[in-house]
Amino acid sequence: MRKRGFEIAKGWEDKDIHLPVRKTAHSAGYDIECAEETVVPKFVPGCNPTLIPTGIKAYMGDDEVLYLYNRSSNPKKKGLVLANSVGVVDADYYGNPDNDGHIMFAFYNIKEEDITIKKGEAIGQGVFAPYLVVDGDNATGTRKGGFGSTDKK
């Protein structure tokens, strides 16, 4: 029986995507790679973050979440910071009709020059975790889309 894991997202099957792996026995995070060469422009006030494709999606239990974290070396070495500090991938994001649950990292580049991330470079890590709900929670909504869709009406 499947509990949690990663798969190649639709449209990325023939793109030589590597599924995330942990590098040591006691690592919490699964290293996630960039799926295609992407340029992250230097930060200019008012600019949007650059979405970095990974080519993967994640399945998990209904009471679990996948947190997306930046690599600790990214801010110093590459000037990359996550636009949302921590990404949250909900269980119902998997297989959604908009993008099949394709996971992307939203980065700003705080260096003074554009940064190129090469295909196959580790850009972040994913950590699976359970979550709790409050007494009286009665959430019944159904996800209707992909990236940023939980606030769509």
> pLDDT value at position 21?
97
Cβ distance 145 to 80 under 8 Å? no
Domain residue extents for the chain = 5-131
Structure tokens at 92: 């119902």
Alpha-carbon distance of 86 to 122, in angstroms, equals: 16
Phi-psi region of 136 (alpha: psi -120 to 50; beta: other; left: phi over 0): left
To the question of pTM greater than 0.75 for the whole model, the response is: yes
pLDDT recorded at residue 141: 78
Task: Output the pLDDT for position 7.
Answer: 98
| Angle, CA 101 vertex, CA 100 and CA 103 arms, to 5° | 130
Superfamily of domain 5-131 in CATH is Deoxyuridine triphosphatase (dUTPase) (2.70.40.10)
- Tokens at residue 49, please? 């973050």
Close Cβ partners of 125 (under 8 Å, ≥ 6 residues apart): 20, 29, 30, 31, 32, 68, 69, 71
Lowest-pLDDT range, 5-19, 63-77, 131-145?
131-145
